[in-house]
């Protein structure tokens, strides 16, 4: 091991400048706590952006990693492996789906979903049926196809010609969706709760109507559950709480509890369009990722953990209400389960990042979702003590911003 001094300056020397990370460099974590190079302790309300669903170094995940790490890491899809088949069986048994495709990230899961939707439509209804409809402010990943389907042009502009036949309407705007849907529509892609777009919940009537419109036009309904899936909203997948069943669902982030893995889930009928050779992934479904994901999935998919998410949501809401009663900076707290957004009021418009930076000063890790929303996506098993301590730090951060 090299003993070179690793500082924030090294980032600027050796890394492509597409990120602007904090000065703090964490070196270890336990539960919802993280320690930096100077051994300062932080409370983690960010969860690696909704990834660390069981916090840091959960024994079930560490155990699975060590055990599988001594057996097999990688084979390629010329063969299959036991962890991948066990995980796929569990996903199928727990959801609407019959079939699973594994990859390494949410973007890859969405890429697979979009390719499948197009292929299925063309195969069953002809070459004209290619329109994909998605929602403004939606986020579906950073590959060129997924970022174009995402609803923020700023992320897809400037790279040359975009994949074609993709349209956007406002989330929760049924009339706008009706106006552009036709029998040429191959898929509607939506998050069952918009994450990056500001923690926006779907109107339940809207969610149901989208399903009906898809049926009417023989279009597939694709649910991007990369951020909402695997317990985040208090259901195993958010579609279960909306009483709407999609045709294709994508999962990643929390699925591996911090180890990179993605999955696309669908029905037998639709899956049949991805015949041998039509799509693939070198690492997708590798035994190491699948063994860790299986441990994460087994741990989260219990009544105790899922019920616990709803209980923890109430701890946050009560704590945030108390803070806001003193400092009057949030218009509302949006979201569901442990994907929550504190929406800044008129007075603090555009200042979400100030709250994030003040939180770091108080040794608390939070996120933003756009310029006006402070986002929390903590561990699903965060303790009461960690929530209370974290909210005390958040209150001090809020005071810093409010008092200038």
**pLDDT digits over 257-266, tens only?**
999 999 999 9
Q: Is the pTM of this model over 0.85?
A: yes
Q: Is pLDDT of 2 > 80?
A: no
The verdict on whether 253 is a catalytic residue reads: yes
**pLDDT digits over 309-363, tens only?**
999 999 999 999 999 999 999 999 999 999 999 999 999 999 999 999 999 999 9
Which CATH number is 8-57+303-402 given?
3.90.1150.10
Q: Is pLDDT of 219 > 60?
A: yes
202 secondary structure, DSSP code: P
Count of other CB atoms within 10 angstroms of residue 91: 25
Surface-to-core class of residue 228, CB atoms within 10 Å of its CB (0-12 exposed, 13-18 middle, 19+ buried) = buried
The verdict on whether 139 is a catalytic residue reads: yes
Out of 224, 247, 259, 376, the active site residue is 224
From the list 32, 154, 109, 22, the residue with the least C-alpha distance to 293 is 109
Residues 14, 17, 19, 24, Cα dihedral to 10°: 40
70-75 long-range contacts, CB within 8 A, separation 24+? 71/287, 72/287, 72/288, 73/286, 73/287, 73/288, 74/283, 74/286, 74/287, 74/288, 75/286, 75/287
From the list 235, 236, 178, 253, the residue with the least C-alpha distance to 212 is 178
pLDDT of amino acid 4: 84
**pLDDT digits over 32-81, tens only?**
999 999 999 999 999 999 999 999 999 999 999 999 999 999 999 999 99
Residues 67, 72, 73, 76, Cα dihedral to 10°: -150
Out of 253, 259, 336, 355, the active site residue is 253
pLDDT of amino acid 1: 52
**pLDDT digits over 82-120, tens only?**
999 999 999 999 999 999 999 999 999 999 999 999 999
From the list 372, 367, 365, 362, the residue with the least C-alpha distance to 392 is 362
The residue extents of the domains of the chain are 8-57+303-402, 72-300
pLDDT of amino acid 404: 87
Report d(CA 182, CA 170) in Å as an integer: 17
In sequence order, the β-bridge partners of residue 250 are 224, 264
Count of other CB atoms within 10 angstroms of residue 41: 11
From the list 203, 377, 213, 382, the residue with the least C-alpha distance to 305 is 382
pLDDT of amino acid 384: 98
Count of other CB atoms within 10 angstroms of residue 224: 31
Mean residue pLDDT across the chain: 97
From the list 123, 109, 99, the residue with the least C-alpha distance to 266 is 99
List the strands of the sheet with 339-344, edge to edge. 330-336, 339-344, 373-376, 367-368
**pLDDT digits over 162-173, tens only?**
999 999 999 999
**pLDDT digits over 275-317, tens only?**
999 999 999 999 999 999 999 999 999 999 999 999 999 999 9
What are the phi and psi torsion angles at 189 (to 5°)?
A: -110, 125
pLDDT of amino acid 36: 97
Count of other CB atoms within 10 angstroms of residue 128: 12
Q: Is pLDDT of 3 > 80?
A: no
Helices (H) and strands (E) in the chain, counts: 15, 15
Q: Is pLDDT of 366 > 80?
A: yes
Out of 45, 102, 139, 330, the active site residue is 139
Ordered DSSP codes for 283-333: STT-HHHHHHHHHHHHHHSSHHHHHHHHHHHHHHHHHHHHHHHHH--EEEE
Report d(CA 134, CA 147) in Å as an integer: 11
The verdict on whether 93 is a catalytic residue reads: no
**pLDDT digits over 138-148, tens only?**
999 999 999 99
Rg of the Cα atoms in the chain: 21
In sequence order, the β-bridge partners of residue 332 are 343
Structural fold of domain 72-300: 3.40.640
Surface-to-core class of residue 21, CB atoms within 10 Å of its CB (0-12 exposed, 13-18 middle, 19+ buried) = exposed
**pLDDT digits over 119-139, tens only?**
999 999 999 999 999 999 999
Rounded mean pLDDT of 234-243?
97
């Amino acid at each position: 091991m090299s003993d070179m001094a690793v500082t924030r300056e090294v980032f600027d020397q050796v890394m492509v400048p597409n990120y602007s990370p904090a000065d703090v460099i964490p070196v270890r974590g336990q539960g919802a706590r993280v320690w930096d190079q100077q051994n300062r302790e932080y409370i983690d309300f960010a969860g690696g952006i909704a990834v660390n669903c069981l916090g840091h170094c959960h024994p079930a995940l560490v155990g699975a990693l060590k055990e599988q790490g001594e057996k097999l890491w990688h084979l390629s899809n010329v063969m299959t492996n036991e962890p991948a088949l066990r995980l796929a069986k569990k996903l199928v048994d727990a959801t609407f789906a019959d079939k699973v495709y594994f990859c390494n990230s949410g973007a890859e899961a969405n890429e697979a979903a979009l390719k499948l939707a197009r292929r299925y439509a063309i195969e069953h209804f002809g070459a004209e049926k290619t329109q994909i409809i998605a929602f403004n402010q939606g986020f579906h990943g950073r590959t060129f196809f997924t970022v174009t389907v995402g609803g923020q042009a700023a992320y897809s502009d400037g790279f040359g010609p975009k994949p074609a036949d993709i349209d956007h309407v406002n989330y929760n705007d049924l009339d706008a969706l009706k106006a552009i849907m036709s029998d040429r529509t191959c898929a509607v892609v939506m998050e069952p709760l918009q994450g990056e777009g500001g923690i926006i919940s779907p109107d339940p009537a809207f969610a149901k109507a989208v399903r009906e419109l898809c049926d009417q036009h023989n279009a597939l309904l694709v649910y991007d559950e990369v951020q909402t899936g695997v317990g985040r909203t208090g259901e195993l997948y958010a579609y279960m709480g909306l009483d709407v069943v999609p045709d294709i669902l994508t999962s990643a982030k929390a699925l591996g509890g911090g180890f990179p893995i993605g999955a696309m889930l669908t029905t037998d009928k639709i899956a049949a369009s991805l015949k041998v050779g039509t799509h693939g992934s070198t690492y997708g479904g590798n035994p190491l990722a699948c063994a860790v994901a299986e441990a994460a999935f087994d741990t989260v998919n219990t009544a105790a953990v899922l019920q616990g998410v709803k209980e923890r949501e109430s701890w946050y809401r009560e704590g945030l209400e108390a803070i806001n009663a003193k400092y009057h900076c949030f218009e509302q707290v949006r979201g569901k389960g442990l994907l929550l957004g504190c929406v800044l009021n008129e007075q603090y418009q555009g200042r979400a990042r100030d709250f994030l930076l003040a939180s770091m000063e108080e040794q608390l890790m939070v996120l933003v979702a756009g310029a006006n929303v402070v986002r929390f996506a903590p561990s699903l098993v965060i303790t009461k003590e960690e929530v209370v301590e974290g909210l005390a730090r958040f209150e001090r951060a809020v005071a810093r911003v409010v008092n200038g």
